[in-house]
């Protein structure tokens, strides 16, 4: 059985020490991926510590993705090598894998959820009931592969009104979440192509491409977004970007870089841009910059968006807009797939959009999120840590960066906050390529937090920052 | 003559008891392979039970491959032991592609729809409304990757009660339709593996595998299902089969072949069977044969089913049950995927199952489909074409084969009927390998037809058959 010395644990608590020892052995592969760890009870007995201590260490390791548990079987070392030399961790808080049990935080700034109180239950239920009685026949006939036409028409209308995009409903393909659509795109564009993703970026994007056996390159960003030179250098053929609000940096790609990107795409028959517009609805100031698709005359851009941010992340509905030649190819080769979203949900969403509720809901949410953001930024600026804190990229979407001037690593600070119930992830956790970071930027996603959580959490962070600076 | 006591039969019916006694004696070789069984009449007399009871028991034994009958000679014990040593999918024309416009038929026998009038709208809407008000919080928190636990528990309970399968809810993965799950399986098992599909078979299965860049082999069937020798010969590693009711032939794989398939799978570390149980709920006579997964001790079988047949095809919800070692691998490698089904639909389905509505609905549907089938077969037998028509494999599921003795090709006849508004597809349309068919078998899927459509369409078919035979 694994045995560790508890002699020179320094200032660490017992569980911290144990957590670090196991983590080190997993990283060094002394404990192999998939290897079973001792049961909590036997481990505790062997080390002469309490079961609670082992449990705390295991929980921390689970939270960080180093180990996982299988009910009635025990704890196992995760395969961390597949996540790269260093790890863009176990992704956003979007799913706790095996059991669905996840740690409850006082405040989770790494989250990706919706705000529970904001969902328009009454309207949604009313429309859903209307659909159930109005559309009995439609509800039992399979919609076309791309999705229910009423929904695709409603989306086309929305895109015209709010994104100034003129697209045919037939160009729109409804999917069961963006991950599903990423997979479809690999089938459409080919897995032998080289896919470029943003670094730092949303970790799932690369994981879906890799799980689909596509070649992935992590392309660095500069202040304007993805680097076109690097796309060339890495021979990328399909660039997956989020120009309207990059995750996690929050950067907005200016029009000049957008043209540059379109120029890059037009220099190769097989080059495409996947424009991931995931939270563009929540731009808070100024007019939005035109989407790449709306200014693309060469049919090089695939537009993608989701209802996860704008309706609810449990709705699992997203869509992409294919340029016309790809639309034809999609229908020729992939329309044997059934549309994967329950018809009733598609019809309800169509009504929600058509009757103007979607727009109202977004406006309401935008105001709400603006208040959240203002509360957050004001609380930070008024807190004792203000002198050591800077807020970056706060004008769009549902997250910004908090730059802290602290004398420790991102990981260390995240660990300190984690133990106080505040989940905070450093920008470095989303970076693929190692960088010598003197700056400590933390992702602040505020979409699912209450005012109370915001104030409490900022105060806790501030206390720790001030302590570190003393 | 064989004699069994009917004293302690417990809660079994007479025929079940007799079936179990004979089965036990065949397995134990008290009844030798090839041994003649008593005639129905003499057996009934000897045991003091009715001929019908013996007949039911014999039919079940035939269905499961324990005995076989030779016309005018009698019933004989099958050789199951010789095959036990060696030892282990489908679906349909589900969607109209590009615009969603599809031709309206007078009657479409190739269809795969549900019967519109049969969907329990009132109950479903009630439960959905209940979920909307009961589960506000759950509705906005992402369920684990495998799906909402309440639904997975409900399915596990259902599988235990109705398929005699003992599985942990954690082994169950919810997907957005079976096609989605095929794709996930390619990512889990590897696209470099060789996937064997049934020939003839459900065309989409092969298409999804091919779109996912997996290698596909089309393996011929014999009267018991997929040919094990051909699986060996083609070096298949993953066999995708639908043993409980093959599409389109309607064949049921007997227990002997099931053991043979399990034997095949156990002879290679990387061999798996995907057991596609897509319409097993609608077996009309006799008790179902055990699923491959329920008799697999080597963790070689992945079980898969869908709610497309049992609830509605527009629900786009399916599930698979992974053997435990694959479950662990799934969680390790693929649990970053979000569950693709809208949470509200998962929760509603869980209530639907748990409260017994699912069972009631299936029973109601089964009775309805049995009447449909009886009307169909009687109309065919009473029609002028009766002398040139034979009905095959009508005892299970929602389709059977109609063999017509006609002097033209399948395509020619389908074309004639198409012009009259009757959609009929020949078995040859589902065959991968060209065969010189002297027989003309047509798929008769009756799940979405009304009584009126059935009678009208059979009369049209009959008229044409008679015309051709003149």
Q: Chain B partners of A317 at a C-beta cutoff of 8 Å?
A: 342
CA distance A347 to chain B (A): 11
Task: Report whether pLDDT(A89) > 50.
Answer: no
Q: Inter-chain contact B140–A114, Cβ cutoff 8 Å?
A: yes
What's residue B440's pLDDT?
93
- Alpha-carbon B322 to chain mean position: 19
Q: Cβ(A172)–Cβ(A156) under 8 Å?
A: yes
Domain encompassing residue B326: 140-355
**Number of structural domains found in chain B:** 3
A37: its two tokens: 């760890």
State the residue for tokens 């960088």: A435
B169: its two tokens: 């809810």
pLDDT digits (tens, 9 = 90+) for B195-232: 999 999 998 999 999 999 999 999 999 999 999 999 99
pLDDT band at A440 (very low <50, low <70, confident <90, very high): very high
pLDDT band at B151 (very low <50, low <70, confident <90, very high): very high
pLDDT digits (tens, 9 = 90+) for B253-285: 999 999 999 999 999 889 999 999 988 888 877
Q: What is the DSSP letter of B282?
A: G
Q: Inter-chain contact A341–B338, Cβ cutoff 8 Å?
A: no
CA distance B94 to chain A (A): 7
Task: For residue A448, report the phi and psi dihedrals to the nearest 5 degrees.
Answer: -115, 15
Residues A185 and A267 in one domain: yes
Q: Inter-chain contact B170–A337, Cβ cutoff 8 Å?
A: no
Give the CA dihedral B195, B197, B202, B206, nearest 10 degrees: 30
Residue to test with chain A: of B123, B135, B141, B148, most A Cβ within 10 A:
B141
Asked which of A37, A65, A96 is the last residue of a domain, the reply is A96
What percent of chain A is modeled with pLDDT above 90? 55
Residue B101 lies in a domain: no
Q: Cβ(A284)–Cβ(A366) under 8 Å?
A: yes
Q: Inter-chain contact B339–A143, Cβ cutoff 8 Å?
A: no
What's residue B319's pLDDT?
98
Helices A357-382 & A149-163, crossing angle to 10 degrees?
Answer: 50
The C-alpha angle B211, B217, B219, rounded to 5 degrees, equals: 135
Q: Inter-chain contact A70–B339, Cβ cutoff 8 Å?
A: no
Residue to test with chain B: of A95, A210, A324, A330, most B Cβ within 10 A:
A95
A366: its two tokens: 């935008």
Residue B129 lies in a domain: no
Task: Report whether pLDDT(B86) > 60.
Answer: no
Q: Inter-chain contact A142–B116, Cβ cutoff 8 Å?
A: no
Q: Report how far residue A195's alpha carbon sits from residue A274's, in angstroms, rounded to the nearest whole number.
A: 10
Task: Report whether pLDDT(A9) > 60.
Answer: yes
Q: Report how far residue B220's alpha carbon sits from residue B439's, in angstroms, rounded to the nearest whole number.
A: 17
- Count Cβ atoms below 10 Å from residue B188 Cβ, excluding itself: 20
Q: Report how far residue A97's alpha carbon sits from residue A325's, in angstroms, rounded to the nearest whole number.
A: 38
What's residue A94's pLDDT?
32
Residue A147 lies in a domain: yes
Task: Report whether pLDDT(B96) > 50.
Answer: no
Residues B274 and B331 in one domain: yes
B97 CB-near residues (< 8 Å, 6+ apart): A144, A145, A331, A335, A336
B348: its two tokens: 């509603």
pLDDT digits (tens, 9 = 90+) for B4-53: 888 777 777 888 888 888 988 887 778 887 888 999 888 988 888 888 88
Q: Cβ(B336)–Cβ(A204) under 8 Å?
A: yes
Q: Cis (ω within 30 of 0) for the bond into B111?
A: no
Q: Output the CA–CA distances (angstroms, integers) from residue A449 to A61, A312, B138, B236, B414, in the order listed.
A: 25, 15, 16, 52, 61
Q: Report how far residue B200's alpha carbon sits from residue B221's, in angstroms, rounded to the nearest whole number.
A: 7
Residues B181 and B252 in one domain: yes
What's residue B288's pLDDT?
76
pLDDT band at A139 (very low <50, low <70, confident <90, very high): confident
Q: Report how far residue B318's alpha carbon sits from residue B173's, in angstroms, rounded to the nearest whole number.
A: 8
Task: Report whether pLDDT(B395) > 90.
Answer: no
Task: Report whether pLDDT(B70) > 50.
Answer: yes
Mean pLDDT of B237-251: 94
Q: Chain B partners of A191 at a C-beta cutoff of 8 Å?
A: 213
pLDDT digits (tens, 9 = 90+) for A35-51: 889 998 889 888 888 88
Bridge pairing between strands A194-199 and A172-175: unpaired
Q: Chain A partners of B145 at a C-beta cutoff of 8 Å?
A: 95, 97
pLDDT band at B115 (very low <50, low <70, confident <90, very high): low
> Of A36-50, A71-85, B325-339, which gets the smallest average pLDDT?
A71-85
Of all residues in chain B, the one with the smallest CA distance to A182 is: B337
Mean pLDDT of B48-71: 81
Please report, for the domain that includes residue B179, its CATH number. Answer: 3.40.640.10
Q: Chain B partners of A208 at a C-beta cutoff of 8 Å?
A: 336-337
Task: Report whether pLDDT(B94) > 50.
Answer: no
Q: If phi over 0 gives left and psi between -120 and 50 gives alpha, with beta otherwise, what is residue B133? A: alpha
Which residues are registered as beta bridge partners of A339? Answer: none
Residues B149 and B188 in one domain: yes
State the residue for tokens 């957008």: A258
Residue B131 lies in a domain: no
Helices A343-354 & B343-354, crossing angle to 10 degrees?
Answer: 140
b/e map B74-84, b = 16+ CB within 10 Å: ebbbbebeebb
Helices A343-354 & A149-163, crossing angle to 10 degrees?
Answer: 40
- Count Cβ atoms below 10 Å from residue A11 Cβ, excluding itself: 6
pLDDT band at B436 (very low <50, low <70, confident <90, very high): low
Q: Inter-chain contact B338–A113, Cβ cutoff 8 Å?
A: no
Residue A220 lies in a domain: yes
pLDDT digits (tens, 9 = 90+) for A140-181: 778 899 999 999 999 999 999 989 999 999 999 999 999 999
Mean pLDDT of A7-33: 81
Residues A160 and A302 in one domain: yes
CA distance B193 to chain A (A): 13
Please report, for the domain that includes residue A44, its CATH number. Answer: 1.10.10.10
Q: Report how far residue A60's alpha carbon sits from residue A44's, in angstroms, rounded to the nearest whole number.
A: 16
Q: Cβ(B259)–Cβ(B84) under 8 Å?
A: yes
Nearest to B91 by CA among B184, B182, B178: B178
More confident position, A335 or A5: A335
pLDDT digits (tens, 9 = 90+) for B158-184: 999 888 999 999 999 999 999 999 999
Residues A156 and A289 in one domain: yes
Please report, for the domain that includes residue A429, its CATH number. Answer: 3.90.1150.10
pLDDT band at A97 (very low <50, low <70, confident <90, very high): very low
Q: Chain A partners of B342 at a C-beta cutoff of 8 Å?
A: 314-317, 341-342, 345
CA distance A187 to chain B (A): 6
CA distance A64 to chain B (A): 13
B470 by DSSP, 3-state: which?
coil
What is the H or E stretch that residue B179 is in? helix B178-189
Residues A241 and A342 in one domain: yes
Q: Cβ(B226)–Cβ(B261) under 8 Å?
A: yes
Q: Cβ(A197)–Cβ(A205) under 8 Å?
A: yes
More confident position, A321 or B125: A321
pLDDT band at A281 (very low <50, low <70, confident <90, very high): confident
- Count Cβ atoms below 10 Å from residue A201 Cβ, excluding itself: 25
CA distance B126 to chain A (A): 10
Q: Chain A partners of B211 at a C-beta cutoff of 8 Å?
A: 187, 333-334, 337
pLDDT digits (tens, 9 = 90+) for A392-419: 988 778 899 999 999 999 989 999 999 9
Residues A163 and A233 in one domain: yes
Q: Report how far residue A7's alpha carbon sits from residue A284's, in angstroms, rounded to the nearest whole number.
A: 54
Residues B317 and B189 in one domain: yes
Query: Looking at B286-412, which runs of residues are DSSP E strands?
Result: 301-306, 318-321, 389-392, 399-404
Residues B310 and B416 in one domain: no
Q: Chain A partners of B335 at a C-beta cutoff of 8 Å?
A: 95, 97-98
Q: Chain A partners of B333 at a C-beta cutoff of 8 Å?
A: 79, 82, 211
What's residue B12's pLDDT?
79
* Chain mean pLDDT for chain B: 87
- Taking one residue from A and the other from B, the number of pairs with CB-CB distance under 8 angstroms is 220
Residues B391 and B451 in one domain: yes
ipTM: 0.72
What's residue B261's pLDDT?
97
Q: Inter-chain contact A149–B99, Cβ cutoff 8 Å?
A: yes
- Name which of B99, B129, B342 is nearest A314 (Cβ-Cβ): B342
Q: Chain A partners of B125 at a C-beta cutoff of 8 Å?
A: 129, 132-133
Q: Inter-chain contact B324–A73, Cβ cutoff 8 Å?
A: yes
Q: Chain B partners of A148 at a C-beta cutoff of 8 Å?
A: 100
> Of A381-390, B99-108, B146-155, B234-243, which gets the smallest average pLDDT?
B99-108
More confident position, B99 or A290: A290
Residue A377 lies in a domain: yes
- Name which of B94, B140, B328 is nearest A142 (Cβ-Cβ): B94
Q: Cβ(A382)–Cβ(A391) under 8 Å?
A: no
Q: Cβ(A196)–Cβ(A221) under 8 Å?
A: no
- Count Cβ atoms below 10 Å from residue A29 Cβ, excluding itself: 12
What's residue B114's pLDDT?
64
Q: Inter-chain contact B100–A187, Cβ cutoff 8 Å?
A: no
Q: Inter-chain contact B139–A119, Cβ cutoff 8 Å?
A: yes
Asked which of A355, A376, A407 is the last residue of a domain, the reply is A355
Q: Inter-chain contact B177–A213, Cβ cutoff 8 Å?
A: no
CA distance B131 to chain A (A): 10
Where helices occur in B355-386 by DSSP H, the ranges are 357-381
More confident position, B118 or B153: B153
- Count Cβ atoms below 10 Å from residue B38 Cβ, excluding itself: 18
- Name which of A94, A132, A314 is nearest B343 (Cβ-Cβ): A314
Q: Chain B partners of A76 at a C-beta cutoff of 8 Å?
A: 328, 332
Q: Inter-chain contact B335–A95, Cβ cutoff 8 Å?
A: yes
What's residue B263's pLDDT?
96
Q: Inter-chain contact A113–B343, Cβ cutoff 8 Å?
A: no
Residues A170 and A224 in one domain: yes
Residue A23 lies in a domain: yes
Residue B103 lies in a domain: no
Q: Cβ(B289)–Cβ(B244) under 8 Å?
A: yes
Nearest to B159 by CA among B20, B299, B359: B359
- Name which of B100, B133, B316 is nearest A342 (Cβ-Cβ): B316
What's residue A437's pLDDT?
65
Q: Report how far residue A198's alpha carbon sits from residue A200's, in angstroms, rounded to the nearest whole number.
A: 6
B409: its two tokens: 């090709």
- Count Cβ atoms below 10 Å from residue B135 Cβ, excluding itself: 18
Q: Inter-chain contact A341–B312, Cβ cutoff 8 Å?
A: no
What is the H or E stretch that residue A134 is in? helix A121-134
Task: Report whether pLDDT(B101) > 60.
Answer: no
CA distance B20 to chain A (A): 34
What is the H or E stretch that residue B454 is in? helix B451-469
Q: Inter-chain contact A34–B328, Cβ cutoff 8 Å?
A: yes
What's residue B85's pLDDT?
32
Asked which of A298, A332, A355 is the last residue of a domain, the reply is A355
Q: Output the CA–CA distances (angstroms, integers) from residue A159 to A133, A169, A465, B95, B150, in the order listed.
A: 28, 10, 44, 26, 37
State the residue for tokens 């009870």: A41
């Amino acid at each position: 059985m694994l045995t560790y010395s508890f002699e020179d644990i320094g200032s660490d608590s017992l569980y911290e020490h144990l957590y670090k020892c196991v983590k080190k052995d997993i990283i060094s592969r002394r404990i192999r991926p998939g290897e079973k760890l001792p049961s909590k009870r036997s481990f505790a007995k062997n080390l002469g510590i309490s079961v609670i201590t082992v449990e705390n260490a295991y929980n921390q390791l689970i939270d960080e993705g180093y180990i996982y548990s299988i009910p009635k079987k025990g704890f196992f070392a995760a395969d961390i090598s597949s996540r790269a030399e260093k790890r863009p961790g176990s992704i956003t808080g979007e799913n706790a894998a095996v059991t669905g049990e996840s740690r409850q935080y006082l405040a989770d700034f790494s989250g990706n959820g919706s705000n529970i109180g904001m969902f328009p239950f009454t309207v949604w239920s009313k429309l859903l009931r209307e659909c159930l009685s109005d559309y009995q026949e439609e509800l039992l006939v399979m919609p076309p592969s791309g999705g229910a036409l009423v929904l695709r028409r409603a989306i086309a209308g929305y895109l015209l009104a709010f994104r100034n995009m003129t697209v045919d409903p037939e160009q729109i393909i409804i999917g069961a979440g963006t991950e599903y659509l990423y997979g479809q795109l690999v089938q459409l564009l080919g897995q032998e192509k080289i896919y470029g993703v943003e670094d730092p970026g949303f970790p799932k994007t690369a994981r879906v491409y890799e799980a689909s056996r596509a070649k992935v390159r992590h392309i660095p960003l500069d202040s304007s977004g993805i680097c076109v030179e690097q796309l060339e250098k890495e021979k990328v053929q399909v660039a997956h970007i989020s120009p309207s609000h990059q995750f996690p940096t929050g950067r907005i790609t200016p029009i000049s870089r957008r043209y540059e990107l379109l120029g890059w795409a037009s220099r190769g028959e097989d080059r495409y841009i996947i424009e991931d517009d995931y939270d563009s609805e929540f731009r808070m100031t100024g007019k939005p910059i035109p989407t790449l698709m709306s200014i693309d005359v060469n049919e090089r851009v695939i537009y993608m968006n989701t209802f996860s941010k704008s309706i609810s992340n449990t709705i699992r509905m997203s869509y992409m807009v294919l340029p016309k030649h790809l639309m034809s190819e999609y229908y020729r080769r992939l329309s044997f797939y059934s549309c994967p979203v329950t018809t009733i949900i598609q019809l309800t969403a169509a009504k929600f959009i058509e009757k103007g509720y979607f727009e109202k809901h977004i406006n309401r949410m935008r105001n709400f999120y603006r208040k959240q953001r203002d509360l957050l930024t004001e609380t930070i600026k008024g807190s004792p840590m203000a002198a050591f804190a800077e807020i970056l990229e706060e004008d769009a979407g549902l997250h910004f960066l908090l730059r802290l001037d602290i004398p420790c690593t991102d990981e260390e600070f995240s660990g300190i906050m984690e133990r106080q119930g505040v989940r905070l992830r450093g920008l470095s956790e989303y970076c693929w390529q190692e960088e010598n970071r003197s700056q400590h930027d933390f992702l602040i996603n505020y979409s699912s937090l209450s005012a109370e959580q915001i104030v409490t959490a900022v105060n806790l962070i501030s206390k720790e920052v001030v302590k570190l600076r003393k």
